[in-house]
Amino acid sequence: MMKKFIKWFMIISFIILALALGGLGLYISSIYASAKAMEINEDELSSSALSIRVFDSQNKPIKEDNEINHAYASIDTLNDYTKEAFISVEDKTFYTHNGINPKRIIKAGINNFKSHSLKEGASTITQQLIKNTQLTSEKTYKRKIKEIALAQKIEKMYDKDELLEFYLNVIYFGNNCYGIESASNYYFSKSANELSLEESCTLAGMIKSPAKYSPIKNSENCLNRRNLVLKEMQKDGKISEEEYTIAKEKALSLNLNKTKINKLNSYSQASIDEAEKILGIPARQIAIGGYKIYTYQNEEKQKALENALGRQDIDADYAGIVIDNEKCAVSAYIGDSTYKILDAKRQPGSCIKPILVYSPALNEDIIYPCTQILDEKVTISDYSPKNVGNVYRGYISAREALSKSINVPAVKVLSYVGIEKAKKYAESMGLNFDEKDDSYTLALGGMTYGVNLTQLAGAYTTFANNGIYKAPRFVSFITDKNNKLVYINKTQGEKVLREDSAYLMTDMLKTCAQSGTAKKLASLDCEIASKTGTVGKSGSKENLDAWNISYTKDQTVGVWIGNLDNSPIRYAGGNQPTEVVKNYFTEYKDDSQFDRPDSVVEKKIDGIDLNENHRILLANHFTPDRYTQNELFSIFNLPSDISNMFAEVEKIKINSRVENNVALLEFEAKDFETYDFIVDGKVVNSISGKSGSQKISIPLTSSKEDIIVENYYTLTPDNKVTQELSFVKKEAKAKEKWYI
């Protein structure tokens, strides 16, 4: 019976497997046949000059150059080693296959099955050409089948040299360079037909991952990849052993074309980069497809930002951004560098403190703005933070520590919150951390990779938006060539902080703009919060990055100055970046006001206890105003203890002795108390407004003298404490002696 069951089980399983494979085969065949019937868009293969239409918030065209593939390289003008470099590293059998390489497809399929992903594509040059010009970049098996079918079809339409020419003129080399002619002009300031062997191999190596193998950003990766291409050419017999040996020893050459750099960091280019991610297609296909990109650019703000940066003679890379807080929309952007600034991450320095340290501490009810923190030399978990100039100030409020950007208190507060919890707050505000970012250096901006300007400025919008974070966006909506809406920004906000915590953070940063490191903004006629950041070069007094992030109720402005090649700069966050922000708000008037929520209240605290004992105690009914401080608190985190200062006066302790018929009295005074010394109903000495150790002398005129001591709060003299000191002189045979 069991054998019969097993027999039928095997038969049924075989039938099911056969049907499944048959169904899969039919599915694949239908996709393949459908793809074969598709028309090849020949314009997409050879269009040499394309541009994308980008519009501002008023639907007016943004007049910034974003031309794609203006320069075109004919295959017969290129050196043989230039063509062979790409073939050796990308598709060794290019001249013999019919569009696909079955062995590579099978191998990639097995590896993808094992890894449960589509990481390996095994694409030939022909397949890459199809992917870049005829299909989307989605990683699905369906798209892969279409790619194979169309690759075989196009092989019958063009010869190999034509296909290679199309390919070399559409592939992406990073930094807005589509095609080898554009890349050669940008990276080496020469035409593609003038490329050396090493330069050809550099470009051929880059296309696998333009960011990872960038000669600007990742020169070591690029050099290793270039040498790998050289080795493949030597193995394929395209260059000799001697040529390989000489070429691999040469340094990485780079001669950036400055005339092509400006459009890299334009508003329209940032919008196109965002549109590529939204649509899942490269910029060239966006241009060919006739898509129109509508952005949030505000013409007036863009001009004000450009003028603000233009007034500074900046001898370094720089960028500025303006974000509309309510929409979390980028209203203006400008940058100047040899590399796309928004693709680069930099160390944020002290600008991370409000995001990672102080706002989480406020939201977790760990600190008040007036909390006293001991600024001292300290070691926490093997980390010993240092203040600028090795200056330590003793007890200081969290507000002042932040506004003056003092390091030790920030590290201490991070230790109160906890690194992991603090990182979760910052991640909810758009910052990303590497797994190695797990030390207290984070409090001072010490990250493995850092942040870009949009991320950092975007995080600050959380404070202006009552604790709600939305990722900033350049693109409002996109239409196709028929003006049909294909995308509209509907970014949803996330509640990160309570509104009381967000407001208290803003209030602390307003102090920074008035009297802290951003005090250059104090003269502005607007309500503004600000934070600066300066990143120093390890082991030297030179700087690498200078930041200022400032915001009003309506808008956030971020400015960065540095060099993406990490050469030092002569700027600091409180200087030029802050001056740019000041210039911007001087030109673009902003009268918006921060709204204090009902969950934030003002309370009087005991200033004496705060300064002497570093405790936060509510002032009592008797405390004179001059000894109180008005501070802001969340109703969810109010001080619970009330000071007994001025409710009752403490009797002072007096040390006394007699010398030469003079009473010598010593005691500790407080500057808010008055001390009267009375003999025979008359005040013979009085001390007021002094603090610390006091010494007085009172002559003793009789053998028994009583000194009355009264002490009271100077502003409330009716509430007194009285004590009596009696001095008695007795005469002995040898000498006189006073008894107290």
d(CA 674, CA 163): 97
Residue type, 351: C
Question: Could you read off the pLDDT of 81-114 as tens digits, one per residue?
Answer: 999 999 999 999 999 988 888 777 666 555 554 5
- From residue 575, alpha-carbon distances to 402, 546, 579, 631 in Å are 17, 9, 6, 30
β partners of residue 738: 729
368-419 residue pLDDT tens: 999 999 999 999 988 999 998 899 999 999 999 999 999 999 999 999 999 9
The candidate with the shortest Cα–Cα distance to 656, out of 738, 712, 734, 586, is 738
* Mean pLDDT, residues 281-309: 92
CB-count burial class (<10 Å; 0-12, 13-18, 19+) for 226: buried
Q: Give the residue from 475, 428, 476, 421 showing the smallest Cα distance to 455.
A: 428
For the chain, give percent helix, strand, coil, nearest 5: 40, 20, 40
By C-alpha distance, which of 350, 351, 334 is closest to 342? 334
Q: What is the mean pLDDT of residues 639-667?
A: 91
Of the candidates 421, 399, 411, the one whose C-alpha atom is nearest the C-alpha of residue 633 is: 399
Pairing of strands 53-55, 292-295: parallel
pLDDT class of 328 with cuts at 50, 70, 90: very high
Cβ of 688: how many Cβ atoms within 10 Å?
Answer: 13
Element (H, E) at 154: helix 141-155
CATH 1.20.1070 fits 655-739, yes or no: no
Among 417, 472, 468, 463, smallest CA distance to 442 is for 417
Kindly report the number of other CB atoms within 10 A of residue 56's CB atom.
21
Which runs of consecutive H residues, i.e. helices, occur in 251-298? 267-279, 283-288
Largest CA distance in the chain: 136
User: Of the candidates 43, 37, 477, 416, which has an alpha carbon nearest to the alpha carbon of residue 291?
Assistant: 477
User: Greater confidence, 60 or 259?
Assistant: 60
pLDDT reported for residue 113: 47
pLDDT for 3 equals 66
Residue 589 CB neighbours (<10 A): 10
Q: d(Cα 566, Cα 543) in Å, to the nearest integer? A: 9
Angle at 14 between CA 11 and CA 17, to 5 degrees: 150
What letter does residue 382 receive in the DSSP assignment?
T
Residue 133: which of 257, 278, 289, 29 has the closest Cα? Answer: 289
The residue-averaged pLDDT of 65-84 equals 84
Q: Please state which of the ranges 15-29, 59-73, 487-501, 529-543 shows the lowest mean pLDDT.
A: 15-29
Domain at 303-587, CATH from 3.30.70.1450, 3.40.50.720, 2.120.10.70, 3.40.710.10: 3.40.710.10
Quote the tokens at residue 720: 């007194």
**Domain 41-262, architecture per CATH:** Orthogonal Bundle (1.10)
Indicate whether 673 pLDDT > 80. yes
Closest CA to 320 of 272, 266, 271, 275: 266
- Report the percent of the chain where pLDDT is more than 90: 67
Is the separation of the CB atoms in 444 and 422 below 8 Å?
Answer: no
| Residue range 63-84: mean pLDDT, rounded | 84
- Collapsing DSSP states into helix, strand and coil, what is residue 101? coil
| Least trusted range by pLDDT, from 88-92, 354-358, 624-628 | 624-628
Q: Per-domain residue ranges for the chain?
A: 1-37, 41-262, 303-587, 600-634, 655-739
Reduce the DSSP state of residue 333 to 3 states and report it: strand
| Cα(276)–Cα(128) distance, integer angstroms | 18
Q: C-alpha distances in angstroms, 252 versus 339, 432, 449?
A: 17, 31, 24
Element (H, E) at 126: helix 125-133
pLDDT number for residue 613: 93
Q: Which two tokens stand for residue 316?
A: 């370094």
- Contact between 457 and 549 (Cβ < 8 Å): yes
pLDDT(10) > 90: no
Q: Does residue 709 register a pLDDT over 90?
A: yes
Residue type, 33: A
**Per-residue pLDDT band at 118 (split at 50, 70, 90):** very low
**Residues assigned a catalytic role:** 90, 350
Helix spans in 53-96 (H): 80-90
Task: Specify whether the CB–CB gap between 707 and 678 falls below 8 A.
Answer: yes
Torsion of CA 532, 538, 540, 544, to 10 degrees: -40
Count the neighbouring beta carbons within 10 Å of the beta carbon of residue 46.
Answer: 14
- Whether 303-587 shares its CATH topology with 655-739 is answered no
Average pLDDT estimate for 143-165: 85
Which letter does DSSP use for residue 198 in this model?
H
Model confidence, pTM: 0.78
